[in-house]
Amino acid sequence: MTDNATHFYSYLAEGNIICRCKARTGAEVISELARLLARNNAGLSAESIVSEVLAREAVFPTVIAPGLAVPHARLAELDKPLVALASSRDGIDFQAPETGPVKVVLMLLTPGDDPGLHLQLLSALAKDFSTPGEIDKVADLPDAGAVMAHFNGSGLTIPDYLRVRDVMTRKVTTVLEQDTLQRAIELFAVTGESEMPVLDDDGDLRGVVSLLDLLKFSMPEHVLWLEDLTPMYRFQPFSEVLKGANDTKVADVMRTEFTSVSESVPAVQIAKLFLVNQIGQLIVVDSAGRLAGIVQLRKFAARLFWE
């Protein structure tokens, strides 16, 4: 990739920008931008674009920050990325009440066989628009020329490759090592998580606790070698654990050995670690060894192969 191609500006064109958009809903603005891209790029179908974008919209919410939506799709007929932008002072309803109306919509279409480029663009956009006031600034620009000038001077570049921090989940459900087992059980039930990092009172990473750890703690090891489980048909070992769940600490159940990865290494390392260790979740740490996030196999695979 050349130096020029690494700048986000190189993917924009004035003809693919709508300022002061009148669309009121996410579906309306997606249709407008799809028609724009189809009209300006031979061989593209607006209906096909809308279908692909809405299919992903239904599974992966595209409001990635308050005021910013990035509806996107991968198209087999593309050999380069296409970007269309719409801005709205009043805001567009993307049915995301927790983040409010969207003021900037960036439709991103990428080649179907280049997942790396797709994720690099998403990562760069998320980082750039996290700057306070950036979304409102773009929404207030009066015309396409002003939008082009803004991005030409913004220095928004596409990274040569993704790092772990670009694909990890930062909001992580955790437990303290001095929490009760009952607390952990409740969190597993409410959040749907299968594994949680364990921290001490200072926020340092001490280990992990998983549903498998909970099962292992409940069943005596010798039971795993028995063929006849008749004496435990009523789950007696689990009953005993539940009786003492308020007195047992997470520290008694957790594992101190787990697989972790630095947030700064290339993201492709994640795939290797999943395969080598045969696990479903990786702990991500920062340069000080503190918890920075997690990467779950199912989410990583979805982003890589389909999102």
Q: Which domain holds residue 271?
A: 175-305
Q: What is the CATH number of the domain that holds 189?
A: 3.10.580.10
Looking up residue 112, the CATH number of its domain turns out to be: 3.40.930.10
**Cα(87)–Cα(150) distance, integer angstroms:** 13
Give the range with max mean pLDDT: 1-10, 54-63, 156-165, 244-253.
244-253
Q: Which residues are catalytic?
A: 72
Residue 163 has pLDDT above 60, yes or no: yes
Residue 83 or residue 120, greater confidence: 83
Q: How many Å apart are CA 66 and CA 68, to the nearest integer?
A: 6
**Number of domains composing the chain:** 2
Query: Tens digits of per-residue pLDDT, 107-156?
Result: 999 998 887 787 888 888 887 888 889 999 999 999 999 999 999 887 78
Q: Quote the CA–CA distance of 171 and 151 in Å, as a whole number.
A: 29
Predicted pLDDT at 101: 94
- Residue 236 is predicted with a pLDDT of 64
Short-list 158, 146, 151, CA closest to 110: 158
pLDDT tens figures, 242-292: 888 999 999 999 999 999 999 999 999 999 999 999 999 999 999 999 999
Q: Are residues 266 and 192 in the same domain?
A: yes
Quickly list H helices, the chain. 26-40, 46-59, 115-128, 134-139, 144-152, 164-167, 181-191, 211-218, 236-243, 268-277, 297-305
Burial 234-256 (b: 16+ CB within 10 A, else e): eeeeeeebeeebeebebbebbee
Residue 34 vs residues 67, 86, 227, 237, 242: alpha-carbon distances, Å: 20, 11, 61, 58, 55
Alpha helices in 140-261 (DSSP H): 144-152, 164-167, 181-191, 211-218, 236-243
Residue 264's pLDDT is 95
Given a cut of 50, is residue 72 above it in pLDDT?
A: yes
At 231 the pLDDT is 63
Contact 156, 138 (CB under 8 A): no
Residue 298 is encoded by which pair of tokens?
A: 């199912």
Residues 301 and 220 in one domain: yes
> Which tens digit of pLDDT belongs to each residue from 189-200?
999 999 999 999
142 domain residue, yes or no: yes
Does 202 lie in the same domain as 149? no
- Both 155 and 50 in one domain: the answer is yes
- Do the beta carbons of residue 263 and residue 286 sit within 8 Å? yes
- The residue from 117, 137, 160 where one domain ends is 160
